[in-house]
Amino acid sequence: MTARPPWLNTNFTEPRVIVAVRDLCAPHATVFDVGANFGGISVAMSRTVGPRGAVCAFEANPAIAARCQTALNESGCGNSQVYHAAIYSRSRESISLYLSDNMVADSIHYKVSDRTIDVPTLALDDFVDQTKLVPQFVKMDIEGAEIDALEGFEKTIRAYQPVLVLEQIRTDNQCLEFLRKHGYSAFDLSTYTGLDDVSQLPVETVVTDILYAPSSKLEGTPYRPGTTAVASFDAKDFERTDLIFQTAPFKVTKGRYIVQALFSGASEDRQEMYCGVSMRGEPLMRHHGHSDSLCAFTHRWVFDAPDGDLSIFFQFARECPESFKISHVAVSEVDAFRGKALLFN
């Protein structure tokens, strides 16, 4: 039997970022994926901008960059190219990259381990000047080095004002203040609310993704505050079958939804885990990782749904830790996206 080609598989990479990519990357556009990792977001960008668009994916770790390019090739993304460099305020320097154990949190900013490699730096302004590729949309997730990258991108930001999606932590306001000086507003993609300061994020937020754009770029789009409660569940509402905890189905109409999921487990009980939303027995949206990481960081999920019945699920691959506990799950609809959600890959 012929193996299923990768491009037929549903892309579950960073759901709240992927829906923004599909909304805001226009056909024929040039877009940048800064901190491309294994290429999941780059693949979504490639499909959205189409064959006349261009995706420039930047990855600091050379081993991961090679895997990213392979993933793009296997997914048929002929409009995409990976560049091996740490995006920084200056080009043509060498900088230490701290290597993470899970290969998804390498950083030039945080000391995530004692293992390092030296990697070349690249300022995006220099890249734009040399290639003449001007991005209309930029996703940036580089583990705390976002402000360094913005400083090396200031000329392009000032001249062309691309839409940006940046991963941010609740205690660092530098990127918001930098971009506000250039006329940008901030919109949290975890809660679908506007921000004047990152301290306004919910207190349980460890990390989120923030949409930055001049107001004129979002006029006429559904990126506006406002949600309506749809359903809520406590621990007693989840039926357990072996390694799966799942709610009874509940009805939704076509739109965009936010799940606030409060669940926990002891870090020493680390197990492979999935959590997400299913429809007709198949995942519609899911997160995948180790239970300690998901319990710490994955409390707000964003997804698009058609008309139908949904279920919330938590699933373990091999063993359910005794310490795992579901406290509460609430589902809300994003008002401005009612009937407007983009589906799917």
Q: Does 3.40.50.150 match the CATH number of domain 6-218?
A: yes
pLDDT value at residue 344: 44
Sites in the chain below the pLDDT cut of 70: 1-3, 341-345
Rounded (10°) CA dihedral 309, 314, 318, 324? -160
Q: Does 2.60.120.260 match the CATH number of domain 227-337?
A: yes
* Residue 209 DSSP SS3: strand
| CB contact set of 13 (below 8 Å; sequence gap of 6+) | 40, 41, 43, 44
| Rounded-to-integer distance, Cα 331 and Cα 235, Å | 15
The structure tokens listed for 44 are 């979504």
| Rounded-to-integer distance, Cα 145 and Cα 149, Å | 6
pLDDT value at residue 345: 39
pLDDT, one tens digit per residue, over 260-301 is 999 999 988 899 999 999 999 999 999 999 999 999 999 999
Start-to-end CA distance of the chain, whole Å, equals 25
Looking at the whole model, is its pTM more than 0.85? yes
Letter string b/e over residues 287-307, b meaning 16 or more CB atoms within 10 A of that residue's CB: bbbebbbbbeebbbbbbbbee
pLDDT, one tens digit per residue, over 305-330 is 999 999 999 999 999 999 999 999 99
Domains of the chain by residue range: 6-218, 227-337
pLDDT value at residue 342: 57
| Rounded-to-integer distance, Cα 106 and Cα 97, Å | 7
pLDDT value at residue 340: 79
